[in-house]
Amino acid sequence: MNGREDDDAGLVVLPTPCTAPSYDGWFAMPLQGAIAVASPSASIYARQIADDLGAYGATGWKVVASGGFATLSIECGLTAGAYRIVCSPETEVRITGGGSEGLRNGVQTFRQILSQTWPMLPRMRMEDEPRFRVRGYMLDVTRGRVPTMAWLRHWVDKLCYYKYNQFQLYFEHTFAYDGMSQVWDGADPITPDQLKELDAYCAARDIELVPAVASFGHQYMALRTTKLRTLGELPEDADRPFSFIERQQHHTFNAGDPRAFATACAMVDDVCAPVNSVQCNIGGDETFDLGRGRSRALARRIGRDELYARWMNAMVAHVRRRDGRVQMWADIALSMPGVMARLPQDVVMLNWDYAPHVNEANVKAIADTGLPQLVCPAVHAWNELIPRVNDAWSNISEMARLGAIHGARGMLVTDWGDFGHINDPRMALPGMIFGSTCAWSPTSDRQETFEAASRLEYGDAHGAIVERMGKVAEQDAWRWEDMVRYLELDDGSGNVNHEVLNTIEGLRDISGAGAALGEARCAYVRMRLANRMPGVIGELKRSLDDLGCALAHAGSRGGTDTSFDDMVNVRLPLALAMEGTLLLNEIGALLASQYVHVDVGDIDARKVADAWSEWSQTYARVWMTVSRRSELWRLQRLFGQVERLLRTMPQ
């Protein structure tokens, strides 16, 4: 590469810059040299560059106070988060940031360019800044999968690389609350010391670690303990058999019990204590049982709206007493007229909407109240082996666009793990990248982002992997969610679990008719598969082959996670997800054959059972590369049920 030919050589940067950089030829970068930093706090970013160069073979780079080939500095005239990069043989490399975060952002852009061009550098000038001030990512660490500390540090590095500046960990029962060991026993919880360590790791990378605590609803595990069960709306349900589906439905503290509120406050205090952020996400979403159990009489007297507002305002006041600032989910407040008008004007509303086609009315409704909001889309990986990439893009890009129109303070991308968190956290990478790109530039282009993510993250020179992941997800007819619903329709005694049946849109009518288990399962399989089997299997195999070919050719220099280290290797979980997706759909085909009498050809239940057994063992090994054992055993129990189901199918 030299002269002016092919000036940018198709270089990609993520998030996509709001302002296009200018390129003007190439020059060689020395194999050894120095990176100068103006302050010790910037040394970590200089070290990132030096470590990258070392990985490319240029091991002679050091960090100095002045006089380096590359200079990292801060300029007061730049806005927070903004940066400037100038590269030329005359000036060498100059990266300037608006504050520490701006410098960090500039360094990440430079690292991305370097990963594609070393040992050459483009002669270039670039100035850029984000559209949203807050660019956050929320990771569910409570619904079955608790990450290892090594993985959390790795993920923080990844968030740094893509210029996020806020990270939330979502807790229900997986934090080691003081005096509540019954709540977290057996869950491999994150401890206060570990959270403090992670907070320091985030802060060094200009990422604010914000605790997210379920403080009203979503207390299913806590309210099943002998110590706390009387604090819930429905204590009579505490001894029901565990259910992934019911865990998402019945879980609300009794809003009329002062002991319940004191317990919730203690949980919030415990999680907030180890971190330096003054912010706390106190939850407040999906309080489905509110006023329908122990607080029914109180709700009838004052109204469910008032009951909800009193609890949340009391929790806001509690957090404020320690000079904290509050975030809360907006769904219940949006559904209850008058609640938002009663909230303090500095409470940040977390406006979640995970639909591919977002409801603009909710974004506008919060904006009209004057309350600050973060728009909250999702990576669309929950309950999936391969994420719903196309839904993720539609959801994230639309939320970013609407947030920009209605003056949102920023965006918080959510990564959930419903039904045991079967989704490997590495599979969220496309959605995480979409979030960083759209929060930086809400008008980012879909195709450009898909191709850039494939090239930069996966090392796919053809830019095809992310698009092909989306194609596989579209052909996926029988998903993990379907498998769980099918299994949990059995209440454990061979009868229908009506709590589960009532969660399935389209089958609630047969619940009231007293359907037998076989009838309920037949209706569910017919609803999900009758119009898709058997043709979907062939289509899925072709899509999986296309994705496999792209994966086989990926991993050239430029991908950030294509090593064969078990923790960071993205090939491993993707290959596992591909195999599991095909197996689940073959299981779906066999169920369709059994209940709907669809001809599924030569799919053999015994062979599928053998393959499923082997896959399940590999899944457990791959789980342990990034996660604590946590609640893996619950998934393994269901894996075993699936295998037994297959082995008892008629030939």
Q: Which fold has domain 22-128?
A: Chitobiase; domain 2 (3.30.379)
* Segment 489-504, tens digit of pLDDT: 999 999 999 999 999 9
Identify the pLDDT of residue 535.
83
User: Which tops the pLDDT comparison, 601 or 334?
Assistant: 334
Give the model's pLDDT for residue 87: 97
Domain locations along the chain: 22-128, 134-444, 532-647
Q: Are 8 and 108 in contact (CB under 8 A)?
A: no
Measure the CA dihedral 175/177/180/182, to 10°. Answer: 20
Mean pLDDT along residues 226-238: 97
> Mind listing the pLDDT tens digit for each residue in 245-289?
999 998 999 999 999 999 999 999 999 999 999 999 999 999 999
Q: What is the mean pLDDT of residues 163-191?
A: 98
pLDDT for residue 515? 79
Annotated catalytic, 75? no
At residue 463, what is the residue type? G
Q: Give the pLDDT of residue 563.
A: 52
pLDDT for residue 557 is more than 50 = no
Secondary structure (DSSP) of 441-478: -TT--HHHHHHHHHHHHH--TT--HHHHHHHHHHH--S
What's the CATH fold of domain 134-444? TIM Barrel (3.20.20)
Least confident among 2-11, 484-493, 631-640: 2-11
In this model, does residue 564 exceed pLDDT 60? no
pLDDT at 10 over 90: no
SS (H, E, C) 62-101: EEECCCCCEEEEECCCCCCCCEEEEEECCCEEEEEECHHH
**In the predicted model, what is the mean pLDDT of the chain?**
95
List 92, 286, 384, 488, catalytic entry: 286
- Between CA 270 and CA 259 the distance in angstroms is 17
Helix (H, G, I), strand (E, B) or coil at 28: strand
Contact indicator for 104, 202 with CB cutoff of 8 Å: no
Q: How far apart are CA 264 and CA 231, in angstroms?
A: 10
Which tokens belong to 184?
Answer: 């977290």
Q: Which range has the worst mean pLDDT, 142-156, 166-180, 368-382, 497-511?
A: 497-511
Cβ distance 116 to 169 under 8 Å? no
Structure tokens at 59: 């091991």
What average pLDDT does this structure show over 621-649?
Answer: 98
Residue 59 has pLDDT above 80, yes or no: yes
Cβ–Cβ < 8 Å for 209, 167: yes
Mean pLDDT of 612-626: 98
DSSP string over 519-540:
HHHHHHHHHHHTTTTTHHHHHH
How many other CB atoms sit within 10 Å of the CB of residue 338? 11
Judged against a pLDDT cut of 70, whether residue 371 lies above it is answered with yes
Instruction: Tell me whether residue 337 is exposed, middle or buried, using C-beta atoms within 10 angstroms of its C-beta: 0 to 12, 13 to 18, 19 or more.
Output: exposed
Give the pLDDT confidence score for residue 8 in this predicted structure.
Answer: 63
User: What percentage of the chain carries pLDDT values higher than 90?
Assistant: 90
Question: Residue 237 carries which DSSP code?
Answer: G
Position 225 scores a pLDDT of 98
Q: How many Å apart are CA 265 and CA 281, to the nearest integer?
A: 13
Confidence class for position 409, pLDDT limits 50, 70, 90: very high
Contact (CB, 8 A) for 282 and 328? yes
Name the pLDDT band for 137 (thresholds 50, 70, 90).
Answer: very high
Residues 202, 166: Cα–Cα separation, whole Å: 9
- The region that residue 166 occupies, defined by phi over 0 for left and psi between -120 and 50 for alpha, beta otherwise, is beta
Tokens 């209850």 belong to which residue? 336
Cα separation of 12 and 17, whole Å? 10
- Residue 2 pLDDT > 50: no
**298 Cα distance to chain centroid:** 37
Percent of the chain clearing pLDDT 70 (strictly above): 96
Q: pLDDT at residue 541 above 70?
A: yes
Checking if the pLDDT of 234 tops 90, the result is: yes
pLDDT of 301-326, one tens digit each?
999 999 999 999 999 999 999 999 99
pLDDT exceeds cutoff 90 at 510: no
pLDDT at residue 5 above 50? no
Residue 534 pLDDT > 80: no
